[in-house]
Chain A
Amino acid sequence: MKKSICVLFVFWHLFVLWSMTGCWNFREIRDLAIVIGASFDKKDDQIYLTVEVLSPKGGEQEQGATGSLGITPQLFEGSGKTVFEAVRNMISKAGRKLYWSHARVFIVSEDVAKEGIIQIIDWINRDAEVRPQTWILVSKGQAAGDILRTQSKLFDTVSMQIDTLLRNQGNSGKLLGVTVGDFLEEMQKPGVGAVAPIIESVKDGREQIPQVKGSALFKGEKLVGFLDGEETMYLLFLRNQMKKGTLIAVTAQQPKANVSLEIFRSHTTKTVRLVDDRPVVDIWVDCLSGIAEISEENDVISERGSQKLTERTNKELRNKITDTIKKVQNEYGTDVFGFGNLIYRERPDLWETIPKGGWAKVFPTVDTNVNVNIMMRGSAKLSEPTRIGE
């Protein structure tokens, strides 16, 4: 009798405990506006926020393109003095609560980036719903909201296209996708400048479509310059982020006959040493590649030809990389290669001697010594250049 009352008592308390929670954090899906991408512009000290929202309309939509969900995204705009205010102001327009957990892409306009990106990055990292794994991009020369207004040809939304693109960036070798989390980490690390990819809207036929190309360089929280696609490739080599890509080499005998090399694997090591009390960074690029295309009949496959091709490509790649370093050092002065961080990690004693905040002055004077070693592996399915009959 007593025991059973005890058990009932416990059960009653459990029931009350549970049911009195008021369904904490309960959200019906139909009350959510799922944000898939957002862009930040700035005008007159007001932040203009454009969000791309997925709005399911029930099962009646037409079936879209392959792999499509048949959903037309809706754009909402809002403004406010701060990002958070802009987000909250948007509810009055959207009607539903914006749900940020599925956001894939944040696009920041060039203007905002030049003034400083910190308030956006801070909100993204601070808010509970927004994920740090979201991609961040900079729109060059255009309002960021216009990027979201472009049309995606194969995807339901522009944001999904950018997301898929940056996920598969490895094959192009000219893209450097950066998530907000990584961006923040690089911004905070000593001796590294952050990088973000550039997005532009380009005309394709009659439609405006988004294109991701090159990278934007940040000094601290401010945008300082851009690198184009090819320079981004060398940046990838320097940051040891090259996965797969193409190199174009020219052969010695016929300077105009190009040979495309496919990069299978690449690894870059950087070390720092002191020469006359000045830091010199040694860079070794080890790259495994194979011939992907030979445009004219020339000998690049025989042992001798292959060796010549390798030597020439080594030299060319070394020059290009050195040029990129020089350009960044002289024009932008931001250490996107992480030389400063290399010193910070490998030679903390040396880092101590640099006055706080003084790395920006030292960086342009750092000497680099680039070594490239390309290893050739085969020539794809054909073992000889394609010959033309007499």
Chain B
Amino acid sequence: MTKVTPTGLRRNICTNRLTAAADKKSPQVGRNFNCALGSNIKVIQKILQNDGLVIYRKIRLDTNPFRACYVIYVDGMVNSDLLNENILRHLLIFNFGDRRQAPKMSFSDVLMNRVLSTGNVQTEKVIDSAIQSLLYGNVLVLVDGIPFAFVIDAKGWEIRSISEPETERVVRGPREGFIENLITNLTMIRRKMINPALKMVFRDIGTRTRTKICIIYIEGIARPEIIQEVYRRLDKVQLDGILEPEYIIEFIRDAPLSPYETIGTTERPDTAVGKLLEGRIVIMVDGSPFAITLPYLFLEYFQANKDYYDSFLYSSANRLLRYISFFLTTSTPAIYVALVNFHQEMIPTRLLISIASAKEGVPFPAAIEAFIMLMAFQLLREAGVRLPSPVGQAVSIVGALILGEAAVTAKIISAPMVIVVALTGISGFLVPEMPGVSFFLSLFFLFSSSFIGFFGYIFAVIAVTIHMTSLRSFGLPYLSNLTSIHGKELKDTVVRAPWWWMTYRPRLLSRDKRRLADPGRPEP
């Protein structure tokens, strides 16, 4: 398609240096500024044609002979106080003719050292890079006779205030969450880790959106091989637009077809720093409050940040509950169907009679019932998620109470099946990060067990286990540490050991494995 498009038209739409630089025939692009202000402005205006947000402010500087100067910025993306007070005002009133104020300096040095009183001022020779900065919210100052542009950092736009993230609430713990602004997010991480070893590497990604991403790691803890691998994979992302971390995740993750996630996300700076300290790498994407954490292992589904903020006993109990709930949410329908349709001898007599009397008059086999109810539950869940919260609650009440009750009364669904599916659904909410996995697994297990009972269930479990064992996340075995036979590696898995006992970081994850200099129970 690009071949058919006339080059001039394409240039107008895109500000992409790569594409433009590759375009050898283009006469104006990919070149440096020259000394003639008029031609520079023309080039810029040509590139930014039909972009009404860009404002060109022409100033006649107080020099002898007078020189023209352009201040270019994007409306709404700059801090207007800063622009007016520290850039425009100084440019307007500064007396360049007064040699006392600028002794023996070149003209550009005077501008740099005496006039532009903002923090970050750089010079840029390449037109396209300058435009790139302009569109990111910097102010360009072009002066007649100077073959480069001053790029002044005066970014300032409206951002959402920092609030508690909806997805990962805690009872105890910090209440701040990431927002959509990359720099603010990075400061949140930086504030928690006052150490020069914290490295933040910026990259532009997305051939058209030029989204800024930041790769964060702690030097000395993170393994260099993994960092190199992340760079290698990020280089391959040639998508034109990155609006959300998932755009990147799907490119760089291992086993892209697996329902299991091999890359995690978090909305909390404390979680992100916690992952960094374990040797993981965090990638922040501008415009999204979600940070990517990698490598991501299976046991991280069950590690919630609040585990580390509560007493270790209580946290361990909660972790166990989560593992049990994972089993319940994936297996309850399958086991129920296997028992009721194939292995009635395993049900206690009284329970069997209860189930039998509840199923009397229900037209469907248990497997069909289970499928209908699981689908109904997923429908309600999805409806509840997308609707505004007051309506969402109404939907869940209608769904749970009225639909369930009516289905049982009308003898379409048996009452035990409602209990089974409710149990499946509720326990699914204990591990909220894996709705997809638990849904697929429960359907898969249900399908298998509805054909040959427990044999099918066990076959399916074996298949899933084989799949999980063969998964890798950035070179790390997906089940690692969870399946370890060494006690010291199991301290942060199914249970959480107290902090004074967790001497080591996860083994394969980190370079510097020792976390605690002086382990052992603190003596009072």
Contact = CB atoms under 8 A, between A and B. Distances in A.
A18 B451 contact: yes
B189 to A, nearest CB: 40
B360 A102 contact: no
Interface string B362-387: 10011000000000000000000000
Given A36-B349, A101-B344, A101-B345, A30 B452 contact: no
B167 interface: no
Given A18-B448, A24-B452, A30-B359, A69 B344 contact: no
A69 B355 CA distance: 11
Contact of B344 (A24, A32, A57, A58): A32
Given A28-B341, A34-B356, A59-B360, 11 more contacts: A25-B452, A26-B342, A28-B359, A29-B352, A29-B355, A54-B353, A69-B353, A69-B357, A71-B353, A102-B345, A104-B349
B506 interface: no
Interface of B: 340-342, 344-345, 349-350, 352-362, 365-366, 447-448, 450-453, 456
Given A19-B451, A69-B350, A101-B345, A56 B356 contact: yes
Contacts of A21: 451-452
27 contacts: A21-B452, A23-B450, A24-B452, A26-B342, A27-B342, A27-B344, A28-B341, A28-B359, A29-B340, A29-B352, A32-B344, A32-B356, A34-B352, A34-B356, A36-B349, A54-B349, A57-B360, A58-B361, A59-B357, A59-B358, A69-B350, A69-B354, A71-B353, A71-B357, A102-B349, A104-B349, A131-B345
A207 interface: no
A129 interface: yes
Given A18-B448, A18-B451, A56-B353, A26 B341 contact: yes
Residue of B359, B362, B447, B452 contacting most chain A CB atoms (<10 Å):
B452
Contacts of A56: 353, 356-357, 360
Interface of A is mostly: loop
Mostly, the B contact residues are helix
A26 B453 CA distance: 8
A351 interface: no
Interface in A59-114: 59, 61, 69, 71, 99, 101-102, 104
B319 to A, nearest CB: 34
Given A18-B448, A25-B342, A30 B356 contact: yes
Contacts of A102: 344-345, 349, 352
Contacts of A57: 357, 360
Q: Which of B356, B359, B447, B452 lies at the interface centre, i.e. has the most chain A CB atoms within 10 A of its CB? A: B356
A25 B453 contact: yes
A71 B450 CA distance: 29
Nearest to A14: B463
A287 B342 CA distance: 48
A41 B341 CA distance: 33
Contacts of B354: 69
Interface string A1-41: 00000000000000000110101111111101010100000
Contacts of A19: 451
Contacts of B341: 23, 26-29
Contact of A29 (B349, B356, B456): B356
Nearest to A26: B341
Contacts of A28: 341, 359, 365-366
Contacts of A131: 345
Contacts of A26: 341-342, 453
Ranked nearest first, the 8 interchain pairs of A and B with the lowest CB-CB distance are A101-B345, A56-B357, A58-B360, A56-B356, A102-B349, A29-B356, A18-B451, A21-B452
A62 to B, nearest CB: 13
A25 B340 CA distance: 12
A18 B362 CA distance: 26
Nearest to B349: A102
Contacts of A18: 447-448, 451-452, 456
Contacts of B361: 58
Contacts of A24: 451-452
A32 B357 CA distance: 12
Contacts of B453: 25-26
B280 to A, nearest CB: 30
A6 B356 CA distance: 44
